[in-house]
Structures are given as structure tokens and as C-alpha cells.
Amino acid sequence: MTSSGPDLSVQVAGIAMQNPVMSASGTFGYGMEYEEYLDLSELGAIVTKAVTLEPREGNPPPRVRETPAGMLNAIGLQNPGARAFIDEKLPQLREFGVPVIVNISGRSVKEFAQLARMLTVDGVDALELNVSCPNVEDEGMHFGVDCSSTGELARAVVDSTDLPVIVKLSPNVTDIREIAVAAAEAGAHALSLINTLLGMSIDIDTRRPHLGNVTGGLSGPAIRPVAVRMVHEVAREVDLPIIGMGGIMSARDAIEFMLAGASAVAVGTANFVEPATMRDVIRGIADYCRRHDVARVAELTGALRID
């Protein structure tokens, strides 16, 4: 440990980050929306909300529902499309001087590959694949629930770009380790997990779903124990950097993910509760390292003790 404090820098799939804390896709807009709440140049990386080939309006409202210890959302990937993102959003993101990871989503392998080629531009440091979306060429089955689909998709994107490719795994599977292995064997450079758990909430007075889409993704502290367990399982199964996420509200939560095997972490739902959460998590991790004589935060990755 230096006189200036612990070394918080980490490397994830060749992406040099000044600390291991980044935003989770879909919870931080394109970053600029949070400028008045925290200094974005302090983050380890910014992960954008999903970008699709063409603009999308998203799902019908209501789109968000608070739940005990979390929330359900069914936004539906609302975004202006890839061309507008490159022309209007990316130039602003570049100004913060931190790595930019673009989450991409498509309806087919071909769309994902096309997006990858389009987004292989200056200012984009990596691509994160949203495999929790349905594949229209396979009767709507989600890419991320089948090993062969995940592998085919990851391989197509890896072949279409020279950027690091991060596969964001869905927890809505029988065994997430099998999907992780498929992504690794297809050439993925890193994994992020977990995406939201599929959930539902009903208004018992009207007897109707609270969400216009009927079901939505459950996020927040309620899913954290599931997410930590899955990170631990995947870290023992594949030799790839892992970005852990799922209900991180504090530095203690982030460190839990790192001990389970994550090289970095992403903060999502907490940004809605306290927009400056990521700043506090970064400072809290540094404080933990000082108190426990940890010289480099990377030493925490996989440091779980099981006697």
C-alpha cells in the first residue's frame, strides 16, 4: 500500500479501470443524466443502457413497480437507435475520460453482429451483450437460456469486432455455469452477472398486473444473495474476468461480490435510491482496503475463505 492509499485499479478483459466500480446497464441512462449528482470521471467505467439497431419506444406503461427490497421494471429497451447513439451520445461520453462499455441488444444473431460492427468506433472500449432478449429467428426463445444460442451469438459478435466482448448472463436458467462455459468457449472476453430475475406483481383490487408488460425484471437487494452465489459458481467454472452485479447498495455489498470472484462490480437499482451511490461505494472500498491492509483491490477477487 502506498502513502496515497490502496491501488484501486483493475483490468477487465484488457480494459484499464481506475477502480472496480461501474454503472449497470439500464439504470444510468447514458451517464449524462447523473452529471449533477456525481463526478462521472471518478467511475471505473460507464455502461450505457441498451442500444439497438433501430430506435425503440419500449413497452407500454406502467413500466416500473416498487417491490419489497427491490423493484420490477419492464422498460422494453427504449432507446434512439445505434446511429443516434454514435452521433449524439458517444461524443459526450468520451469527455469523461473513463472507459465506455456499450450494452447492445438485437432480435437476431445478424443484428447483434451488425451492431458490433457499427459500434467498433473511437470512444467505445467494449461491448456488453444483452442475451436476455428473445431471438425472433428461434421462435422468441431468449439467447441466454440456451448454451448453443449463447455460444452462437457470442462467437458472431467476437468475429465482428476487435473490441472486448462481455456477455451479460441471465439468472433465469437451470444452471448458469453451463451458459457461462458456452460463452467462454465462443471467445467471450469477460462475463457480467446477473441480469434481472423475471418477476410479476398483481393489483389485488383490480386483479390486473401492475406492469403494462405483465412481467418484468426484478432487481435490487432482494436478488443479491442469488447473484453472489451465481458469481461464486461461475468464477469456479470459467477462467474469465467477471463483473458482478445484483442489489449492490454499499461498499460492503461490492466487496462481497469481489470475494466471491468478481474482478469489478456494477451498481444499478441503488442509483434510483441515491444517485451518488457509486461515489460512496468507491470511497468505501478504499476505506475497507486501508482498514484491512489490502494494498491492491484486485487481491480481493476470489479471496473467499471456505474451510
Cα gap 8→4, rounded to integer Å: 11
pLDDT at residue 140 tops 60: no
Residue 217 has pLDDT above 70, yes or no: yes
Q: What is the mean pLDDT of residues 165-183?
A: 96
Structural domains present in the chain: 10-300 (3.20.20.70)
Q: Position 257: which residue type? A: F
Which pLDDT score, from 0 to 100, does residue 4 have? 74
The percentage of residues in the chain with a pLDDT greater than 90, rounded to a whole number, is 91
Looking up cell 456499450 gives: 102
Q: How confident is the model at residue 89 (pLDDT cuts 50, 70, 90)?
A: very high
Average pLDDT score over the chain: 95
Residue 258 to residue 230: CA distance in whole angstroms: 12
Residue 289: strand, helix, or coil? helix
pLDDT at 136: 54
Q: Across residues 189-193, what is the average pLDDT?
A: 98
Would you give the DSSP letter of residue 49? P
pLDDT band at 174, cuts 50/70/90? Answer: very high
What mean pLDDT do residues 106-135 have?
92
Average pLDDT score over residue span 127-142: 73
Give tens-digit pLDDT for 37-84: 999 999 999 999 999 999 999 999 999 999 999 999 999 999 999 999
Active site amino acids: 133
DSSP 172: -
pLDDT in tens, 241-275: 999 999 999 999 999 999 999 999 999 999 999 99
- Taking the C-alpha atoms of residue 74 and residue 171, their distance in angstroms, rounded to an integer, is 16
Q: What are phi and psi of 87, to 5 degrees?
A: -80, -35
The pLDDT value given to residue 243: 98
Q: State the pLDDT at residue 142.
A: 82
Contact 167, 129 (CB under 8 A): yes
Residue listed under C-alpha cell 468507491: 282
Most confident of 105-109, 142-146, 282-286: 282-286
Q: What are phi and psi of 305, to 5 degrees?
A: -105, 120
Q: What average pLDDT does the segment 93-116 reach?
A: 96
pLDDT digits (tens, 9 = 90+) for 287-304: 999 999 999 999 999 999
Could you tell me whether strands 100-104 and 264-267 are parallel, antiparallel, or unpaired per DSSP bridges? unpaired
Residue 189 pLDDT greater than 70, yes or no? yes
Instruction: Name residue, grid cell 412481467.
Output: 215
151 pLDDT more than 70? yes
Residues 231 and 257 sit within 8 Å (Cβ to Cβ): yes
Contact present, 133 and 107 (Cβ < 8 Å): yes
